[in-house]
Structure 1
Amino acid sequence: MTDAHSTAKHPAAIMAEVLDEIDAARAFVARDDSFDSAQALRVALRRLRSGLTLFRPMLPTEHNKALLEEARWLAAEVTRLRDLYLLWQDTLTPARVALPDNTALQSLEVRVLNRIEKERQQLRTLLESDRVQALIAQGNEMRDTEFWKPAAHSPEKLEDLCIETLDLRLSQALKHGETLKRLDSQARDSFRKSLRKLRATAEFTQSMFPSKKTKAFLKQLKKLLDSMVAARDASAVRDRLEDLMQDMEEGSAERHIAQELIKAKEAGVGLDHKRLQKLWRATVGLPLH
């Protein structure tokens, strides 16, 4: 799989880079009130979870399990704020421009902005909490090569693990992608998640064992995932609006406009199944390693 004359990185170096990304993203959230800051931390935590999953056999079992659970917990907190930013910027702001005098829409925007401010302050407090500091401390243990099991020091065993995991992730994606035309929103989301896991594994593998084949596969896989972003965003907007609607009166104008925004967002996805199938065939037609 590996191209000639390449040297494998130790997984401790890979995870150290991920932990540096998390530190930078935490600082970004602390100083910046924007979608980008929450998104940066969300992506960094996703990479941490992906790395923990890939390298599970080479880390102390209890450490890996505990850190993975904490990373999932914090990622959920961050994603909630990220999706509120998304709702405001990509859905409410264009709607307000189109309907500047709609009082129900104005009221909904105020509600969303208030929730964003609340979630933002809560997240900043959370990032300074003992629980998050413990998560970071646990993660930093992985920077030391001696913390890892002996197998992590063997390039041959690392490469075998990467190939085995890549093949498993590809098989899972193939299973989800068998009937693209009939994918409902839930099944489509499962397909996207399987592709995202495949991409993360391929990226870590490429970091340790650079390969032209893996690089080409990743480039094509990115095109496929980019084509599914709108569907994921529509799902996120629906979830956040449905959460906000719990505090709205039945039959109110504000509740009605929220429901209409959900419909408009999902109708606007416009996922081209033929294009999706073409991208998927082009992706799986390439050698992964």
Structure 2
Amino acid sequence: MPPLDPAAAACDGLARIVDACLAQFEVNRSGLLAGRYHPEYVHQMRVALRRLRSALGLFGGVEPALKAPPLLAEIRALAAALGRARDLDVFVDTTLPKVLAAAAPGTALAALAAHAGTVRRRRRLEARAVCAQPRVVALAAQLREWLAALCAGLAADHVLRRPLAAVAPALLGRRYRGVRRRGRRLARRSAAERHLLRIAVKKLRYATDFLGGLYADAASRPAFAAALAELQDLLGTLNDLAVTAHVLVELDAGEEPGATHAAAGAQVRDCVAAHADAHLRELAEAWRGFKATPRFWTGA
């Protein structure tokens, strides 16, 4: 998105951020409905919705109404439908090829791959259908109207009326502290706790994407962005591997249990566990690098 004006009111900056998120969502929704399915359309729509919710939550620290937009239920339902399609895309396009490359040729994995492909096609059709619903078509316009009305009703002395440059350090600082808190004693953290760290890292990454342009001349900004991106990538990979267990349960649903299918699932789980162990070692190093990297903003 274009750099924000540091002298602009924080509410105006938020409106531009939200507009960029909705534009990202709309262009990919149109792409999904216009032609042949491509996994990136679903992925980018999910990213746009996460960025949208993260932006509202970021500024919601100073205006609670932003944390509960009237269309929150619709956003969550849409994100869930897109997530089901995305999970199968990752499983078929990323996870299974790793397993197949490491496994001996056999019919068990081939049968699992064929079944996963069938379920994926169904999830893709469901995602298309949801994105074509009138309530989703109207979502962007309704959110823009809601935010415009909320900002127009703010008192003259409200924090969001202050210059964006004056508000940004506190917003970034809150997200940064959330990451440091979630990452304490990382080696002892469970998979569920690492998931919460991943969410906190993602929120900080989005916040720095939104507001980092205000600090274009900060010498430490590139290094901070690189350390944060590495951390997010590793946590995201670990999460994709963890999602595999849920995908296997979904693939088992409605299927007659059999030794062949069970054997294939066991192969997938063993391969995923091996990859996860390697990524956990990389994560520890990335976390140390992140902690050692100075922030690029001051004041909070």
Instruction: Give the TM-score, by structure 1 length.
Output: 0.84
Alpha-carbon distance in 1 for matches of 2:109, 2:235: 28
**Residue of 85, 96, 111 corresponding to 2:115:** 111
Taking a change above 3 Å as real, the CA distance of residues 84 and 41 of structure 1, as seen in their structure-2 partners, is: same
Alpha-carbon distance in 2 for matches of 1:265, 1:273: 12
Q: Tell whether the 8 Å contact from 2:56 to 2:67 is kept in structure 1 after alignment.
A: no
- Cα distance, 1:208 vs. partner? 5.2
Alpha-carbon distance in 2 for matches of 1:161, 1:72: 28
Taking a change above 3 Å as real, the CA distance of residues 145 and 32 of structure 1, as seen in their structure-2 partners, is: farther
Q: Which runs of 5+ in 1 are unaligned?
A: none
**Residue of 9, 13, 21 corresponding to 1:10:** 13
Taking a change above 3 Å as real, the CA distance of residues 230 and 62 of structure 1, as seen in their structure-2 partners, is: closer
**Residue of 107, 126, 136 corresponding to 2:140:** 136
After superposition, give the CA deviation of every residue in 1:239-276 in whole Å (9 maximum; x if it has no partner).
11122123333443113212320221122123455643
Q: Mean Cα displacement is larger for which, 138-147 or 167-176?
A: 138-147
Taking a change above 3 Å as real, the CA distance of residues 270 and 59 of structure 1, as seen in their structure-2 partners, is: same
Residue 128 (structure 2) pairs with residue 120 (structure 1): no
What's the secondary structure of 2:69's corresponding residue?
helix
- Cα distance, 1:11 vs. partner? 1.9
Q: Tell whether the 8 Å contact from 2:46 to 2:82 is kept in structure 1 after alignment.
A: yes
Q: Tell whether the 8 Å contact from 1:58 to 1:152 is kept in structure 2 after alignment.
A: yes
Q: Tell whether the 8 Å contact from 1:12 to 1:145 is kept in structure 2 after alignment.
A: no
What's the secondary structure of 2:71's corresponding residue?
helix
Residue 269 (structure 2) pairs with residue 266 (structure 1): no
Letter in 2 for 1:19: L
**Residue of 224, 242, 256 corresponding to 2:231:** 224
Residue 203 (structure 2) pairs with residue 200 (structure 1): no
Residue 177 (structure 2) pairs with residue 171 (structure 1): yes
Alpha-carbon distance in 1 for matches of 2:213, 2:74: 25
Q: Mean Cα displacement is larger for which, 179-188 or 250-259?
A: 250-259
After superposition, give the CA deviation of every residue in 1:176-225 in whole Å (9 maximum; x if it has no partner).
21111112222222211111111112222224564524554223211222
Q: Tell whether the 8 Å contact from 1:26 to 1:127 is kept in structure 2 after alignment.
A: yes
What's the secondary structure of 1:228's corresponding residue?
helix
- Cα distance, 1:98 vs. partner? 6.0
**Residue of 19, 29, 43 corresponding to 1:26:** 29
What's the secondary structure of 2:84's corresponding residue?
helix
Instruction: Give the TM-score, by structure 2 length.
Output: 0.81
Alpha-carbon distance in 1 for matches of 2:190, 2:67: 37
Counterpart residue number, 2:43 = 39
**Residue of 250, 253, 257 corresponding to 1:246:** 253
Number of aligned pairs?
A: 284
What's the secondary structure of 2:70's corresponding residue?
helix
- Cα distance, 1:74 vs. partner? 1.4
- Cα distance, 1:88 vs. partner? 0.5
Q: Which runs of 5+ in 2 are unaligned?
A: none
